[in-house]
Structure 1
Amino acid sequence: MSTPLYRLKAEFFKTLGHPVRIRVLELLSEREHAVSEMLAEVGVEAAHLSQQLAVLRRAGLVTARREGSAVYYTLSNPEVAELLRVARTILTEVLTGQAELLADLRAADPGAADTGSAEPGTAEPGSR
């Protein structure tokens, strides 16, 4: 019996569920990059970047080519860049909605801006 599509999608999104892999895909959305270029941009050790690139290769999201001693990566499908763009749009809308809600809450109750923590050296009511 074949794997249901929803499970395959879940595995696909798990592959995307790592900040380094997302950053790599963002960089590759712009253009092909050598591993050495990505190291400076991503800010992780070479071994960690190599592991994350291997995950992306196994998932079929990136392809590699060797030129001398350098290895260059590119997106295997340009729609990955579109997926990242759509994710950014959705996230921007969600965060904008949350910021607006927070502003509405603060406007409705000016005391709500206080985090509720007591001043240093004072006790919260009922905390004894």
Structure 2
Amino acid sequence: MIRPLYQLKAEFFKTLGHPVRIRVLELLSEREHAVSEMLPEVGIEMASLSQQLAVLRRAGLVVTRKEGSAVYYSLTSPQVAELLRVARQILTGVLAGQMELLDDLRTPADPTPARGRAKGGSTSSGG
């Protein structure tokens, strides 16, 4: 049975739903990396990194090549890097909107009702 595209998309985004996997993809967006180069960047143990890399490999997002005893990872498509750039742009817009809302909330409300203000800015009673 063929799964609907929306279900495949959901599974794809689930694959991206782990901070370590996102960080790995960000690193690989810059250039190919050996596993040993990624370890200090992601801050987890080798076994955990290997698990996350295996998930990305099974999803078809990364490929490997061996050089001596080192295993190098790279993205399967530059569109993965583009997806991360677009996500960053979306988040930047969302956070900018939230900052505007926060600024609005921090601005003290004008306690004087608009109808009660004197014209021309003067508050004298003529006396």
TM class by shorter-chain length?
0.7 to 0.9
C-alpha distance in 2, partners of 1:105/1:41?
37
C-alpha distance in 2, partners of 1:37/1:108?
50
* Aligned amino acid, residue 11 of structure 1: E
C-alpha distance in 1, partners of 2:99/2:18?
25
* Secondary structure in 2 matching 1:66: strand
Alpha-carbon RMSD = 1.2
- Which residue in 1 is equivalent to 2:122? none
Displacement of 1:88 in angstroms is 0.2
Aligned residues: 110
For 1:10-55, what per-residue CA distance to the aligned partner results, in whole angstroms no more than 9, with x for missing partners? 0000000000000000000000000000001111100000000000
C-alpha distance in 2, partners of 1:108/1:47?
52
- Which residue in 1 is equivalent to 2:88? 88
TM score, norm. by length of structure 1: 0.83
* Aligned amino acid, residue 86 of structure 1: V
- Which residue in 2 is equivalent to 1:12? 12
Please list, as runs of the form range in 1=range in 2, the aligned pairs for 1:46-85 lying within 5 A after superposition.
46-85=46-85
Overall identity of the aligned pairs, in %: 80
Displacement of 1:105 in angstroms is 1.0
C-alpha distance in 2, partners of 1:108/1:26?
41
Displacement of 1:106 in angstroms is 1.3
Displacement of 1:90 in angstroms is 0.2
Ranges in structure 1 where 5+ consecutive residues have no aligned partner: 110-128
Query: Does residue 1:23 correspond to 2:17, yes or no?
Result: no
TM score, norm. by length of structure 2: 0.84
Ranges in structure 2 where 5+ consecutive residues have no aligned partner: 110-127
Query: Does residue 1:37 correspond to 2:37, yes or no?
Result: yes
Displacement of 1:81 in angstroms is 0.2
C-alpha distance in 2, partners of 1:39/1:64?
16
Report the structure number with the largest CA radius of gyration.
2
- Which residue in 2 is equivalent to 1:116? none
Displacement of 1:108 in angstroms is 3.9
